Structure 1
Amino acid sequence: MGCDLSHPQWFLFLFVYVITVIHYCLFTRAQLPGTWEILVPNAGVSSMHTAVTRFNTVVLLDRTNIGPSRKMLRKGHCRFDPIDAVLKRDCYAHSVQLDLQTNQIRPLMILTDTWCSSGQFLPDGTLLQTGGDMDGVNKIRKFEPCEVNGSCDWVELNDVELVNGRWYATNQILPDGSVIIVGGRAANTVEFYPPRSDGAVSFPFLADVEDNQMDNLYPYVHLLPNGHLFIFANNKAVLYDYQRNTILKNYPPLDGGPRNYPSGGSSVMLSLQGDYSTAVIVVCGGAQYGAFIQRTTDTPAHGSCGRIVATELDPVWEMEDMPFGRIMGDMVMLPTGEVLIVNGAQSGTQGFEMASNPCLYPLLYRPDQPVGLRFMTLNPGIVPRMYHSTANLLPDGRVLIAGSNPHYFYKFNAEYPTELRIEAFSPEYLSADRANIRPTIEGIPETVRYGDVFDVVITVSLPVVGIVEVNLGNAPFATHSFSQGQRLVKLAVTPAIPDGDGQYKIGCTAPPNGMVAPPGYYMLFAVNQGVPSIARWIHLIA
């Protein structure tokens, strides 16, 4: 007997099958951890670079030579650029400030092109922003954040410039509070801010790992607790003594092909804890070699991750696979020490209109689990976040998701349009059923020095069981799938002692030196049974 689709039993079968599939999909999605929300329907700009300030505002920054954005500058404020191919007189904002309390957007004025630039916060909380393209390639800019009702704005430094032009470079704050600026296109050197007498210093490692599709851009730079730098580019890494300009160690190559721009992997240094002598680096994802050269959009990304104890004498990479191949994923250190991997695509490479198959599912990387159990798939979003998207930890424990513009200019009639919406992802630790164990910080000092012993006072609805962690998370500069300077430090603490009126007092010891935690402003989280408080900002000084 043939398949007669007109038979009533076939319609019944198809109906039951479709309902079952829909129910399964909805049920499965609903059971996955995490929730999404749209914070801002239209930010006016598509953020290529994002940073959170100590005033609980967010600075979002795009290119300047991109033509009209969807946010005007204040009346009477325009940028004049005779070499801009699109707008010689540009009255549109290319940077904005987001107030996290009201979700209101305020336009900011940026003068020179910040396309694929780099950044880092200085010890006083000022955002240092360096390089870019065209008239911005040698520029140094500063943004000194202010209260939300203030008028702080970008300032371009006229008395000092970069020695070498920096396009696709990486910044890292150092133990003394200065900043090292590493690499960039056709810039196989490092230099410092404030500038040093030796100017730009040759760093041949970047030239050695460069190939036909580059893959040495936006190198992954991590300050280790021994004071040296772990620098990763393409598929190789070195231990670099920046003070003597000496490579102390060549790490073994990482299997799986190139990871840096334009291959679109990502990297984090896991939380520093205990005696702070051990640093573990994780590098995940990337495009297949040749995808960028061939300009293909459908070559599957790989999902391999390498993990290495960078402070060991003879370290080796431990390999594992993510549930999804992923390029352009952002790795965000959560207050708990776990890592959120979000954004990106499953095919193609970095570059304008060179990726497809968006990866909507975030992953939670749990570093304390054994290989094979470290990745948890989370609730998917609905907004594709492709090339030029960002992710940043917020003081309330959510993760801000912004950007995505895979086009040379703003383009909205496309399969993956320029994205102006700003979202927030709430990890499972913010779910309603954990609210009664979420601590509230009632008091901390505004400033602490290295090695200081100080108290953190918290309240919790239910009695405290076990150790309440106190963890410091800095505010990195997120761009191109790497958060420059990202760091989480778990402090030595005493057990929480009841202090009357439902309060608890926790004794804490500040980090011992700037190698463990460079000077600056940090988000201080109290973490009770895996649930973080809303952070308070604390200033760590020498």
Structure 2
Amino acid sequence: MASWTELEQARGVRRWRAAAGLLALLLCASVTQVAAQGGSWELLVENAGIASMHTMVTHFGTVILLDRTNIGASQIDLPAGVCRDNEQDQILTHDCTAHSVEFTPGSNAIRPLFIFTDTWCSSGQFGPDGTMTQTGGDSDGLMKIRKFVPCGDGSCDWTETTTELQNGRWYASNQVLPDGSQIVVGGRSVFTLEFVPSKGEARYLPLLEATKDAQDDNYYPFVHLLPSGNLFIFANKDSIIYDYNTDAVVRTMPTLAGTPRNYPSAGSSVLLPLTAADGYTKAEVLVCGGAQFGAYLSDHSLPASNDCGRIDASDPASDWAIEVMPYARTMGDMVMLPNQHTLIINGAQTGSQGWGLADNPTFNPLEYNPFAAAGARFAVMNPTTIARMYHSTANLLPDGRVLVAGSNTHQYYDFTGPYPTELRLEAFSPQYLSAANAPNKPAITAAPGSLAYGELFTVSVTIANPPAGNVQLLLLSSPFTTHSYSQGQRQLNLDVAAPVAAGGGSYTISATAPPGAAVAPPQYYMLFALNGAVPSSATWVRIG
């Protein structure tokens, strides 16, 4: 975010009262139909040692929590005898505390990890072999490329490569591409994109400069790989379909009405599930929430956006359809669930991203059913009691729960005031994990560990009650989550045949792997079986 000096200068900008008043009226409009509440919460860890600004789930099922340096000591020590000596650190040049940890669901164990340069507001993606490539940050981390090779024995840790980015990137977004490389888009006052590994000089992307406004609502652009192989790139209120192979804009999309949607206004976005039913050709993008212009610069009491925009990026004549959420929300995280819904969780109802710039936490998650009729897609879930606002995260776990971490509305760790630095880890269990659904919950007993594109394969499951129809198979990627956006998040609904009974409550499901790397870029995915609205726990499968 901007320095305090820059913020104070920016607060002299006029507040655009008329426009804000109109938006406020719109935000108070009647809400859509909502369903009954459900879901439950559990506290997993009282003190994880750090406030997780960035969170990612590895194919070993462990979770990497990553904060930043330049904030002084964290609340967890590095192993005995290990310290970080960095003369460029602005607060603590000799630091024997960790700023990243590994969390193991189930045992709830926390293991400190070593990060050297500043990862503040950085980006990343998992590659084809499961390695996390993590890019940028602030200060001495601005140009850095880091790696984390996951392991199952507690021996793995962060490393910094000798190769650097071409442009310093703070608040950029990454997307893995069909060839397994990554594209890194934007950053603070950076209007370019580049590739890791490098594919030549960084390229100027006019959209990024065109969407810069007085409060820089083009940070952390939303980047989605479409099944056509092109990219959907969204910043502020505007978006394009971009052919990165030819460096050409294929289509300039209509402007999404309403508030700014990217950092610091902090809406969120997902590419809705791609399905074999239409040959994986239909690609719809959903963008939800945001903050009114001026909420970051001056009036932090302005209500957040309570609407979503949905557009079919595969239809050349499409326009945004607007849907109204039950709650206004900025800084919400969107998590794709294995029941084919999207969870909208965390955030605040007033203000924007930034240190101390938001209030009125949004405690109730929402589930969005993309296949329901318009006006009946949102269901309100049971609330947490912990405020999760700026620098909070939410990630799907292989058991179907959602891990919720972080929230630090302060520049440093501060455990005072109404919104103290949050070190607790929670899990939200959607309604499909309730005891009432246990007889219909599949359990995967056999599945391949890797699949080639288009490969025919089988999965074995057990279910206590006979399935009422087809048991679906879903693939969900593991994204890099930070600042209300899960980079690289993706869900695929596979082509399956009817389950064949094998006796004793066992069933065999024949299926076909995704047809190509534009549909399923090469990565590890969580494979879920879905019986009606009840998913199994996942097994990991490497695609490509």
Interval of TM-score (by shorter of Structure 1 and Structure 2): over 0.9
Given candidates 97, 113, 121, the residue that maps to 2:118 is: 113
Q: Separation in 1 of the partners of 2:144 and 2:91?
A: 21
- Aligned twin of 2:435: 432
> Structure 1 segments of 4 or more deviating over 4 A?
none
Contact 2:459 2:510 in 1 (8 A): yes
- Aligned twin of 1:20: none
1:512 and 2:515 aligned: yes
1:186 is displaced (CA, Å) by 1.7
| SS of residue paired to 1:464 | coil
1:279 and 2:304 aligned: no
Q: Separation in 2 of the partners of 1:85 and 1:153?
A: 24
Given candidates 119, 126, 129, the residue that maps to 2:131 is: 126
Aligned-pair Cα RMSD in Å: 0.8
How far does the alpha carbon of each residue in 1:450-509 deviate from its partner, in whole angstroms, 9 at most, with x for none? Answer: 000000000000112101000000100000000000000000000000112321000010
1:69 and 2:71 aligned: no
| SS of residue paired to 1:207 | helix
1:481 and 2:490 aligned: no
TM-score normalised to structure 2 length: 0.92
| SS of residue paired to 1:135 | helix
State the AA in 1 paired with 2:185. V
Q: Separation in 1 of the partners of 2:261 and 2:404?
A: 22
1:427 is displaced (CA, Å) by 0.3
1:298 is displaced (CA, Å) by 1.4
1:304 and 2:307 aligned: yes
- Aligned twin of 2:247: 245
1:244 is displaced (CA, Å) by 0.8
1:302 is displaced (CA, Å) by 1.4
Q: Separation in 2 of the partners of 1:202 and 1:111?
A: 30
| SS of residue paired to 1:436 | helix
1:397 and 2:395 aligned: no
Contact 2:522 2:543 in 1 (8 A): yes
Q: Separation in 1 of the partners of 2:129 and 2:514?
A: 18
1:472 and 2:456 aligned: no
1:52 and 2:57 aligned: yes
How far does the alpha carbon of each residue in 1:342-383 deviate from its partner, in whole angstroms, 9 at most, with x for none? Answer: 000000011011000000010010111122111111100000
Q: Separation in 2 of the partners of 1:323 and 1:488?
A: 25
- Aligned twin of 1:342: 345
1:195 is displaced (CA, Å) by 1.1
1:173 and 2:176 aligned: yes
1:182 and 2:185 aligned: yes
1:297 is displaced (CA, Å) by 2.5
1:199 is displaced (CA, Å) by 2.2
- Aligned twin of 1:15: none
Written as runs of structure 1 = structure 2, the 5 A alignment for 1:255-274 is 255-273=257-275, 274=277
| SS of residue paired to 1:435 | helix
Written as runs of structure 1 = structure 2, the 5 A alignment for 1:287-366 is 287-294=291-298, 296-366=299-369
Contact 2:132 2:148 in 1 (8 A): yes
State the AA in 2 paired with 1:210. K
| SS of residue paired to 1:504 | strand
- Aligned twin of 2:97: 92
State the AA in 2 paired with 1:326. R
- Aligned twin of 1:143: 148
State the AA in 2 paired with 1:211. D
1:174 is displaced (CA, Å) by 0.5
- Aligned twin of 1:418: 421
1:103 and 2:108 aligned: yes
Give ranges in structure 2 of 5+ residues lacking alignment.
1-35
Q: Separation in 1 of the partners of 2:266 and 2:186?
A: 17
Given candidates 373, 390, 401, the residue that maps to 1:370 is: 373
How far does the alpha carbon of each residue in 1:179-206 deviate from its partner, in whole angstroms, 9 at most, with x for none? Answer: 000000121111011111x221111110
- Aligned twin of 2:206: 204
Contact 2:54 2:65 in 1 (8 A): yes
- Aligned twin of 1:34: 39
1:337 is displaced (CA, Å) by 1.4
Q: Separation in 2 of the partners of 1:483 and 1:106?
A: 23
Matched length: 507
How far does the alpha carbon of each residue in 1:31-52 deviate from its partner, in whole angstroms, 9 at most, with x for none? Answer: 7200000111110000000000
Q: Separation in 1 of the partners of 2:505 and 2:207?
A: 56
Contact 2:333 2:347 in 1 (8 A): yes
Give ranges in structure 1 of 5+ residues lacking alignment.
1-30
Contact 2:186 2:219 in 1 (8 A): yes
How far does the alpha carbon of each residue in 1:64-117 deviate from its partner, in whole angstroms, 9 at most, with x for none? Answer: 111111000011111112122210101110000001121000000000000000
| SS of residue paired to 1:302 | coil
Q: Separation in 2 of the partners of 1:412 and 1:330?
A: 23
- Aligned twin of 2:449: 446
Q: Separation in 2 of the partners of 1:66 and 1:497?
A: 57
Q: Choose 31-40 or 347-356, whichever is displaced more.
A: 31-40
- Aligned twin of 1:3: none
Q: Separation in 2 of the partners of 1:82 and 1:519?
A: 39
Identical residues among aligned pairs (%) = 55
